[in-house]
Amino acid sequence: MDAAVRLRIAAAATAIVLATLGVYWQTWEHAFTVFDDPLYVTGNSRVLGGLSWENIRWAFAAPDAFLWHPLTWLSYMASADAHGATSAGPWVMTDVLLHALGAVLLLIVLTRMTGRVAPAAFVAALFALHPLQSEPVAWVSGRKDVLAGLFCMLTLLAWLAWVRRPHAARYAAVLAAFALCLSAKSSLVALPVVLLALDFWPLKRLEARAQLAPRIAEKLPLLALSLASVAIQLAFVARSWNVWIEDPPLPDRIAGAAMGIVAMLGRIVWPFDLAIVRPTPAQMGLAFWSPVELILTGAGLLGITIAATLCARWSRPVLVGWIWFLALLLPMSGLLPAGLRVMHDRYGYVPMIGIAIAAAHGAAELAGRHRSRRALLGSLGVALIVCSAWLTTRQVAVWQDSLTLFDHALRVTERNAIVHYSRGVALAGSGQIDRAIADFRTALSIYPRHPDANTSLGWLLDQRGHHDQALPHLRLAVEARPGWILALTNLANALIDAGEREEALMWLERAVETEPGSPNSCYRLGKALERAGRIDAAEAQYRQALRIDPHHPHAKLALMAVERTRRIQEETSER
């Protein structure tokens, strides 16, 4: 690589970084959202406790989320040590810097693989500035996607180095980078398939049929890592309380995956009306997709695949880009039994690179050496990047706070029970209880078995003294998610308020059996036991919570209050 090429790469990288910072700089003023941020940061005492040996061990077996991503937990802990959690700005700007670095690494690896700077610069710039990327980058809880993307690029760079000069140490670097990628988020388990596609183009290591077997064999260790990651992830999902929708039969999952893939392709090409949550028909209270929709979707996917295969005769990048997109998106499409059947916008974070590769390098090969064609394509590419940056700037503004985020999502989606529930939580947190109750009721009118909405509505009604109205919602929540400690303790509290002490104690005993190892569970159970008058049992739960997590702030305060109450009672009895 001569000096002129290095200079062009440096110029492109600088432009990409500056443009990315310019588009996302507004996030410095953004707030944490109530959508998952309490789970990952603001309400997670382990994360807020920062990096310690105890918290590091916890990160590899965390029961607080239904995803296995220890590297993401560790990065959050490092951010907590560096910034605290008073403002979301530094957290999001960390994601922005990681995202910009990932784009630069993508530019470098594509240039080294293809020897062409301009198409690689277009792909990297579109990756950095496409509106679809605003969700994982501008959302604190989206860091797992950004981290996985960054280590995906490092895996590609390590792989290219090994291909050019095979050595055991270099292959170990590939395995290490891929392991870190999967430990950030297991969504990129199909990366070995992408590496095989890259052998076809641009590496040209599959020019004869006899080369296929050794090319597959050299990727078997990577495939083993992928299978191990899938197994760990499925084990986490199986034990998770966060799964509240039963897995449909395999034919329905295949149909849903096809619909999700086509929808994602549409959002890449036409990135408007993006939303944090896109409900499935079941979550919208609607019937499954019609046969006509499924047939048209299947035919469309098959047609694109056939066209890409035929294009490989004159333009290999089109087929490779399509394989990249399909392979990396398929594990997130709903085929695997993972509880939720939603194709979120953030799932396209790395897969969309495949579409950009197909477009940029396919067009470059079509233009050939014709200067006029290349000039026209360059102008169109720059215009597309500028439009993307403008749209992304507008989309990033949507993430400034919870209410802005949810109001936007409700404008661009229909019958969105999840967003109505989430906005209700934000409204309740800001003291707008009547509006919160209205949102919870709307969510339940769409999806009556929504456990979170039933729990929240039941709790608010109980707080207002409407115990008879609260109990049916809380019972539905426990029925939909039997092992959820919050639903169990809220039901017990409402029964205590309604004078049903015996039944309340039964639900409290079940709560003890359900989640004995979570500090939050012990704390919530302690509060319910305290309200039931079982002070000794409540104190035991607070102490158990502090044994599990010595820095749990609520358990500390509750234990201090119980001890103070006990001292007052003892002094009173002595008198």
In the predicted model, is pLDDT for residue 235 greater than 70? Answer: yes
What is the average pLDDT across 469-495? 88
Cα 121 to Cα 109: distance, rounded to the nearest angstrom: 11
Contact 488, 455 (CB under 8 A): no
In the chain, what are the domain boundaries? Answer: 3-402, 447-574
Give the 3-state secondary structure of residue 440: helix
Contact 141, 35 (CB under 8 A): yes
Contact 205, 249 (CB under 8 A): no
Whole-number pLDDT of residue 518: 67
Residue appearing with tokens 């969309």: 352
What are the C-alpha distances in Å from 183 to residues 79, 109, 180, 415?
18, 22, 5, 35
In the predicted model, is pLDDT for residue 25 greater than 90? Answer: yes
H helices present in 140-203, as ranges: 143-164, 168-184, 191-200
Would you state the structure tokens that stand for residue 502, as one six-digit string?
A: 């015996």
What is the average pLDDT across 246-266? 83
Whole-number pLDDT of residue 275: 94
Helix pair angle (250-269, 316-329), 10° resolution: 130
- Least confident range from 206-210, 251-255, 430-434: namely 251-255
Model confidence at 574, in pLDDT bands (50, 70, 90)?
A: low
What is the average pLDDT across 474-480? 92
Query: When comparing pLDDT for 282 and 94, which is higher?
Result: 94
- Least confident range from 223-227, 243-247, 257-261, 559-563: namely 243-247
In the predicted model, is pLDDT for residue 340 greater than 60? Answer: no
- The contacts of residue 134 (CB under 8 Å, 6+ apart) are 274, 392, 395, 396, 398, 399
Whole-number pLDDT of residue 389: 97
Query: When comparing pLDDT for 528 and 329, which is higher?
Result: 329
In the predicted model, is pLDDT for residue 198 greater than 70? Answer: yes
- The contacts of residue 44 (CB under 8 Å, 6+ apart) are 38, 64, 76
Whole-number pLDDT of residue 517: 60
- Least confident range from 76-85, 120-129, 468-477, 510-519: namely 510-519
**Residue 291, number of CB atoms within 10 A of its CB:** 9
Whole-number pLDDT of residue 37: 96
Environment class of residue 551 by beta-carbon count within 10 Å: exposed (0-12), middle (13-18) or buried (19+)?
Answer: middle
Contacts 24+ apart (CB under 8 A), 258-262: 258/294, 258/297, 258/298, 258/301, 259/289, 259/293, 259/294, 259/297, 259/343, 260/333, 260/334, 260/343, 261/301, 261/326, 261/329, 261/330, 261/333, 261/343, 262/297, 262/300, 262/301
Q: Which helix (H) or strand (E) holds 260?
A: helix 250-269
In the predicted model, is pLDDT for residue 244 greater than 60? Answer: no
> Using alpha carbons only, how large is the chain's radius of gyration in Å?
26
What is the average pLDDT across 137-161? 97
Whole-number pLDDT of residue 118: 94
Query: When comparing pLDDT for 524 and 372, which is higher?
Result: 372
Contact 29, 89 (CB under 8 A): yes
Q: What is the mean pLDDT of the chain?
A: 89
Would you state the structure tokens that stand for residue 310, as one six-digit string?
A: 């035929």
Whole-number pLDDT of residue 480: 85
What is the average pLDDT across 74-80? 97
In the predicted model, is pLDDT for residue 423 greater than 60? Answer: yes
- Least confident range from 125-139, 186-200, 230-244, 316-330: namely 230-244
What are the C-alpha distances in Å from 443 to residues 222, 289, 405, 450, 500?
43, 21, 17, 8, 28
What is the average pLDDT across 337-342? 56
- Least confident range from 118-122, 162-166, 252-256, 523-527: namely 523-527
| Superfamily classification of domain 447-574 | Tetratricopeptide repeat domain (1.25.40.10)
Residue appearing with tokens 């499409």: 333
Q: Which helix (H) or strand (E) holds 136?
A: helix 134-138
What is the average pLDDT across 107-136? 97
DSSP codes, 500-537: -HHHHHHHHHHHHHH-TT-HHHHHHHHHHHHHTT-HHH
Whole-number pLDDT of residue 238: 65
Model confidence at 485, in pLDDT bands (50, 70, 90)?
A: confident
| Angle value at C-alpha 120, between 21 and 173, nearest 5 degrees | 85
Residue appearing with tokens 């302690």: 526
Query: When comparing pLDDT for 347 and 566, which is higher?
Result: 347
Give percent above pLDDT 90 in the chain. 63
Model confidence at 449, in pLDDT bands (50, 70, 90)?
A: confident
Whole-number pLDDT of residue 240: 58
Q: Which helix (H) or strand (E) holds 316?
A: helix 316-329
Whole-number pLDDT of residue 560: 86
Whole-number pLDDT of residue 29: 95
Query: When comparing pLDDT for 480 and 347, which is higher?
Result: 347
The pTM of this model reads 0.90
- The contacts of residue 39 (CB under 8 Å, 6+ apart) are 64, 65, 141
Find the distance separating the first CA and the last CA of the chain, reported in whole Å. 89
User: What are the pLDDT digits (tens) for 382-402?
Assistant: 999 999 999 999 999 999 999
CA 289 from centre of chain: 25
